[in-house]
Amino acid sequence: MFTALFTLVHRAVFYARLLEADNRSADKLRGAPCPKCGKGVLHRDNYKRSPRGHPPEFELCEGWNVRRSYTCSVCDHRVTPSSRLYFGRKVYLAPVVLAVATREGGASAADIDWLHETYDLARHTVARWREWWSDALPATRCWKALRARVRRPVDTGGLPDTLVARFGRTLDGVFNLLEALLSPEATASRPTAEGRAM
């Protein structure tokens, strides 16, 4: 029924893998010096999120709706590590934002209807995601760093399809792509990076 990429990634086991990797990365920050003041240490200060677009079985994973975060014990500065599961403030999880935005074999009218009924995902949201991939992401430092690491140029006009093709249309390929996009510039909730919450 749906794009092959969405069908591939829309599995609780894949989301659990992303969550586990995010948790491992976040664990490394606990007790670290504050990057802002350098005097305090980081203490856990997680917060709840209400993500959309995941398979229902993913909700059986402990911490599925918790965003790992830390606060400095001295200056109260918040540090939220980058995530493979989230693109900044976007409400829909990263694999959904990636898979649904692809144009090659992308979402048909029937697919959008199904997404709207199941996950309250509107057609204009998909258009906004495609615009984020093709316009906002290539303007970030993250993209420039990522582009420098790949051997052949990546056509920004064809994003995210060109990146998916470069990393591979497999679960490992998508995992590696989401990991490559880990950076404050790609995932921060700044207008230059992604605009309003999606």
In the predicted model, is pLDDT for residue 189 greater than 50?
no
Question: Distance of CA 135 to CAs 87, 139, 178, 195, Å?
Answer: 15, 7, 18, 11
pLDDT the model gives residue 157: 86
Rounded distance, CA 68 to CA 56, Å? 21
| CB-CB contact of 78 with 188 (8 Å) | no
Task: Compute CA 146 distance to the chain's CA centroid, rounded to the nearest angstrom.
Answer: 15
pLDDT the model gives residue 107: 65
pLDDT the model gives residue 121: 87
pLDDT the model gives residue 106: 60
Angle (deg, nearest 10), helices 12-27 and 94-101: 130
In the predicted model, is pLDDT for residue 198 greater than 50?
no
Place of tokens 């990393």: 167
| pLDDT tens profile 141-179 | 888 888 877 778 888 888 999 999 889 999 999 999 999
The CB-based long-range contact list for 176-180 (8 Å cut-off, 24+ gap) reads 177/98, 178/18, 178/84, 178/94, 178/95, 178/98, 179/21, 179/84, 180/146, 180/149
In the predicted model, is pLDDT for residue 88 greater than 60?
yes
Paired tokens of 145: 């760093």
Mean pLDDT across 134-146: 86
Find, among 194, 154, 187, the residue nearest to 83 by Cα. Answer: 187
Find, among 109, 113, 118, the residue nearest to 55 by Cα. Answer: 118
Candidate from 7-21, 43-57, 184-198 with smallest mean pLDDT: 184-198
Mean pLDDT across 85-100: 90
| pLDDT tens profile 28-82 | 998 899 999 999 999 999 999 999 999 999 999 999 999 999 999 999 999 999 8
